[in-house]
Amino acid sequence: MPHKKNQKYRSWVEVDLDNFIANLKEIKRLIGAKADFMMTVKADAYGHGAIEISNIALKCGARMLGVANADEGVQLRISGIEAPVVILGPSTTAEIEQIIKYNLIPSVSDLSFAKKLNNALIKSHHKRPLHIEVDTGMGRGGAMHTEAVKLVLDLSGLSNIILEGIFSHFASSEKMVSHNSTQWKCFSDVLAEIESRGIYIPIRHINNSGAILNYPEYKLNMVRPGIMAYGIYPSPENESKAGLLPVMSFKTGIVLLKDFPAGHGIGYNSTFVTSRPTRIATIPVGYGDGYPFILSNQSTALIHGQRAPIVGRISMDMCTVDVTHISNCKIGDEVVLLGQQEKECVSANEIAAKAQTISYEILCALGKRAPRVFLQKGKHKTVEPRLKRIFVPEEERSLSRIDNIIRHCLLARARNEELGNAIYYEMFETLFGNRDRRLELRSGFRYDIRIAKMPKTKDVVLSKDYLHVGMHVQYKKTLRDNIFMIGCASSHSQLNALFKDPRCEYRWLLNDGGNLSGKRDFTVERVR
């Protein structure tokens, strides 16, 4: 994206969805048609934006999504994602309520947690699948491989738990070392023993990014790509095994240009002193934006397709770049801190090496205060403001906070402050009238669906070719008014009328264009 003087963002993260899609195609080529993949989107999809990345991955064939905790799963559910979401790490007892409410799939490492989950499921009249994690040598989450079979047997006796998956995790998959083979044998032995006991667990997975590249023979029937999907090789040794394209760039612009004589200090404690007349560009990015402090006097920025050194200490909100050798620098010029500009490139691995860390940490940290710009086919697909990323569903009772989030989202969508505000106020006046009436959130929905053979009637075709489906709906909601209405409609026009009636609490389309066939087609059993 060319940077202009009137660029609206101080800094921004670009996420190239075309490159992401290309990486997924490469992963699918590597694993073949017989294996599925779970897209790992924990840590906000490694800093790339979990919601957008998840939606694209699902369109490209991902069977499941992998997250680190229940909150990350809730974020996906709140955004409308209905695909299976697996919590890859051990969950806490406090997360059980969210796991059940938002239909998340926990991974289980011990019987104690599983029993608590099962008891909660019994009370809520639900059944939920889970994945069992086996520690084959990672020394972290999971049941020890020597105890895993017993855990599986114990779990199989819990009434409301479905044994859907079993998995392990390699400790050194980015390298070809003997420990990986040892882990694989431990996991294979566990799987064989479980099968010999007559227990079938349909989904089995161990291969992460490194193993997809180095150990394709271990893929089983599902793999969990993470870093490679975002265009980063787990190790330089893997680069010949797949064609991956980097997905993230981190960019900003020059906000100030100054000329200094020789012998002038730059930044806190003057850790850089000019040795000649020097032109310094100030950019509005610092460690508060996730650009590591350790890169002070070490890292490189790209300006006009040329490398320029970061000089002086990186501050919380700013850092300085020596641009003496770059002619025609202007305020507003694009600065690339991660990514490509013309023929030059600063990679996540390059930054990580200078910061004495790993590329994973760099991707997760960069752009903490920056909007994300998603690119597809060379154009802006969407912009995700930072405000959207800090919304916490449990704060849904804070009306002023929700109002503010809605207003800012409308401003971003309209790309015009005046128009966005007009839509916001018109919308709220339509919804609430001249006073702010709180829209209470409904909760505790329970659907019981029963399917039975049609009773015999004179209509032979109806009795033979159709099934009778009954649905019982139950939910909770605090009402603000003394009068409310629950209605059913036999046409879309009737349904639209019910939607427009402010008294209508719940409405149902039973038969489009036909008549109701019996008194039990729609009944309100009780309201209390």
Q: Residues with Cβ < 8 Å from 424, sequence gap 6 or more?
A: 406, 407, 410, 411
- Could you tell me if 427 and 490 lie in one domain? no
For residue 461, the surrounding DSSP H or E stretch is helix 460-465
Q: Residues with Cβ < 8 Å from 444, sequence gap 6 or more?
A: 474, 475, 476
Q: Last residue of a domain, which of 432, 457, 490?
A: 432
Name beta bridge partners: 274. none
* SS3 label, residue 159: coil
Nearest to 124 by CA among 479, 474, 393, 523: 474
Q: For residues 13 and 16, give the distance between their C-alpha atoms in angstroms, rounded to a whole number.
A: 10
- Contact in structure between 262 and 277 (CB atoms under 8 Å): yes
Q: For residues 323 and 333, give the distance between their C-alpha atoms in angstroms, rounded to a whole number.
A: 12
Q: Given CA atoms 488, 491, 494, 499 in this order, what sign does their dihedral have?
A: positive
CATH number at residue 110: 3.20.20.10
Give the per-residue pLDDT at 213.
97
* SS3 label, residue 421: helix
Catalytic residue among 5, 116, 185, 268: 268
Give the per-residue pLDDT at 6.
44
DSSP 441: P
Range of the domain at 120: 17-241
| Position 81 in a domain | yes
- Could you tell me if 139 and 68 lie in one domain? yes
Helices (H) and strands (E) in the chain, counts: 16, 26
| Position 498 in a domain | yes
- Contact in structure between 488 and 507 (CB atoms under 8 Å): yes
Give the per-residue pLDDT at 190.
98
- Could you tell me if 457 and 313 lie in one domain? no
CATH number at residue 324: 2.40.37.10
| Position 516 in a domain | no
Measured from the Cβ of residue 519, the count of other Cβ atoms closer than 10 Å reads: 7
- Could you tell me if 103 and 143 lie in one domain? yes
- Could you tell me if 67 and 170 lie in one domain? yes
- Contact in structure between 476 and 443 (CB atoms under 8 Å): yes
- Could you tell me if 182 and 289 lie in one domain? no
Q: For residues 441 and 414, give the distance between their C-alpha atoms in angstroms, rounded to a whole number.
A: 27
Max Cα–Cα distance, the chain, nearest Å:
102
Q: For residues 24 and 9, give the distance between their C-alpha atoms in angstroms, rounded to a whole number.
A: 30
Radius of gyration of the chain (CA): 28
Give the per-residue pLDDT at 179.
96
Full pLDDT tens readout for the chain, 528 residues: 444 444 678 999 999 999 999 999 999 999 999 999 999 999 999 999 999 999 999 999 999 999 999 999 999 998 889 999 999 999 999 999 999 999 999 999 999 999 999 999 999 999 999 999 999 999 999 999 999 999 999 999 999 999 999 999 999 999 999 999 999 999 999 999 999 999 999 999 999 999 999 999 999 999 999 999 999 999 988 899 999 999 999 999 999 999 999 999 999 999 999 999 999 999 999 999 999 999 999 999 999 999 999 999 999 999 999 999 999 999 999 999 999 999 999 999 999 999 999 999 999 999 888 899 999 988 887 787 665 555 555 544 456 666 766 777 777 777 777 777 777 777 766 665 544 444 455 667 777 777 777 666 665 555 566 676 777 777 777 665 667 778 888 787 888 888 877 778 777 777 655 555 555 567 777 777
| Position 4 in a domain | no
- Contact in structure between 522 and 516 (CB atoms under 8 Å): yes
* SS3 label, residue 73: helix
Measured from the Cβ of residue 401, the count of other Cβ atoms closer than 10 Å reads: 13
Is 268 one of the annotated active-site residues of the chain?
yes
Burial class of 54 by CB neighbour count within 10 A (0 to 12, 13 to 18, 19+)? buried
Give the per-residue pLDDT at 472.
78
**Token pair for residue 89?**
């790490």
Is 42 one of the annotated active-site residues of the chain?
yes
**Token pair for residue 204?**
């089995």
| Position 95 in a domain | yes
Q: Which region, left, alpha or beta, applies to residue 175 given φ > 0 means left and ψ of -120 to 50 means alpha?
A: beta
| Position 342 in a domain | yes
- Could you tell me if 253 and 199 lie in one domain? no
Q: For residues 464 and 457, give the distance between their C-alpha atoms in angstroms, rounded to a whole number.
A: 10
Q: For residues 501 and 187, give the distance between their C-alpha atoms in angstroms, rounded to a whole number.
A: 59
- Could you tell me if 237 and 256 lie in one domain? no
Q: What is the DSSP string of 341-391?
A: ETTEEE-HHHHHHHTTS-HHHHHHHTTTTS-EEEEETTEEEEEE-HHHHT-
Q: For residues 260 and 280, give the distance between their C-alpha atoms in angstroms, rounded to a whole number.
A: 8
Q: Whose structure tokens read 């691995």?
A: 349
| Position 391 in a domain | no
Nearest to 239 by CA among 177, 174, 181, 169: 174
Whether the predicted model's global pTM rises above the 0.95 cut: no
- Could you tell me if 268 and 225 lie in one domain? no
Q: Last residue of a domain, which of 219, 241, 263?
A: 241
| Position 6 in a domain | no
Q: Residues with Cβ < 8 Å from 78, sequence gap 6 or more?
A: 393
Cα-Cα end-to-end distance for the chain: 57
- Could you tell me if 215 and 260 lie in one domain? no
- Contact in structure between 7 and 14 (CB atoms under 8 Å): no
Q: For residues 133 and 114, give the distance between their C-alpha atoms in angstroms, rounded to a whole number.
A: 12
- Could you tell me if 72 and 165 lie in one domain? yes
Give the per-residue pLDDT at 106.
98
- Could you tell me if 57 and 165 lie in one domain? yes
For residue 334, the surrounding DSSP H or E stretch is strand 334-341
**Count of domains observed in the chain:** 4
Catalytic residue among 28, 42, 219, 251: 42
